Structure 1
Amino acid sequence: MDDILYFEDIQVGDSFAFGPLTVTREETIAFAAEFDAQPFHLSDEAAATTHFGTLSASGWHTTALFMKMFVTEMQKNPGRQAASLGAIGVDELRWLRPLRPGDTLRGTSEVIDKKASQSRPEMGIVRSKVTILNQDDQPVLTMIPIAMWRTRPI
């Protein structure tokens, strides 16, 4: 595959957008019921007794929706997908405002740092600043994923 985007091709400042994705009430409750069954993620009545006021999605659900949108966008570019080797973690994950059923998300990812691996010459590490926005252009989530990228074969 000649169009692979290798570690060497990635530059600080590179960015791309992904999304949109609209969140439904049913998926908000289903995710919470399985993974984060706190009352304010399960019903408006319970949320009304908290600072949320109405049903809000779990922050982990918001993070999972980022991944869904991000991977969907990556799959549109087989060369980018082919060079991605997963991630080793996330720094500075912040849930900035509640995600509500009916919200439509979109995101951006901008490369902020990269370095060649000292122990694994077949890969490099890329850190990106991710921002997820709602339909009102308000930030809902920010984080810095730390991803591994395949280096160009010698």
Structure 2
Amino acid sequence: MLYLEDLHVGDRFISRAYEMTVDEIKQFAHQFDPQPFHTNEIEAANHPIFKGLAASGWHTSAVTMRLWTECFPVAYGLIGSEAQVRWPRPTRAGDQIHVEVEITEIKPSKSKPDRAIVSYTTETLNQNGEAVLLGNTKILVFSKNYRPDL
């Protein structure tokens, strides 16, 4: 587990690759984002923007979250306080995506010295190095001195 003392501006974390499958794309979309360009290859092929089946941006975000938890294991969890996300291109079935995180700022709390807000950028890249998600996130990170029971 990583604590506040373990983190520095410029630190980078890179995840493993994760393959997006047709079945998973459709399953997620049917449950959470039921639009034809996420659920139906025939309709998706005729879509003027996507021109083929595309994963929901929220599905790409959910996989990004999974990969964050694996490559950036912060003590007490990734407790988000703010996020900004863009999807510059669709994630497709067969894409092997991975996450690259870089810490950009560490802002210690003025009133609680056992914690800070850590800002980081995220690039979720496909197998061709093309960004399918770009994000800026702020999380609460605790020091080794943090005592939740006090």
Shared fold (TM-score greater than 0.5)?
yes
SS at match of 2:89: coil
Distance 1:119 1:47, change over 3 A: farther
CA contact (8 A) 1:19 1:70 kept: no
Count of aligned pairs between the two proteins = 145
Q: Which residue of 2 aligns with 1:28?
A: 25
Asked whether 1:55 is paired with 2:53, we answer yes
Instruction: State the partner residue of 2:13.
Output: 16
1:67 equivalent in structure 2: 65
Find the aligned partners of 1:112 and 1:16 in 2 and give their Cα distance. 12
> 2:94 aligns to what?
102
Distance, in Å, in 2 between the alignment partners of 1:111 and 1:8 is 13
TM (norm. structure 2) is 0.89
Matched position secondary structure for 1:64: helix
> 1:2-151 residue pairs with structure 2 within 5 A?
5-50=2-47, 51-74=49-72, 80-82=73-75, 84=77, 86-91=79-84, 93-151=85-143
Does the 8 Å contact 2:74/2:141 carry over to 1?
Answer: no
Query: How big is the shift at 1:11?
Result: 1.0
Which amino acid in the other structure matches residue 89 of structure 1? E
What is the percentage of aligned positions where both structures have the same residue? 35
Quick one: distance in 2 between partners of 1:45 and 1:121?
56
Give the Å deviation of 1:140.
0.9
Does structure 2 retain, via aligned residues, the 8 Å contact 1:44–1:53?
A: no
Give the 4+ runs in structure 1 shifted more than 3 A.
Answer: none
Instruction: Please say if residues 75 and 141 of structure 2, whose CA atoms lie closer than 8 Å, have aligned partners that are also in contact.
Output: no
SS in 2 for 1:69: helix
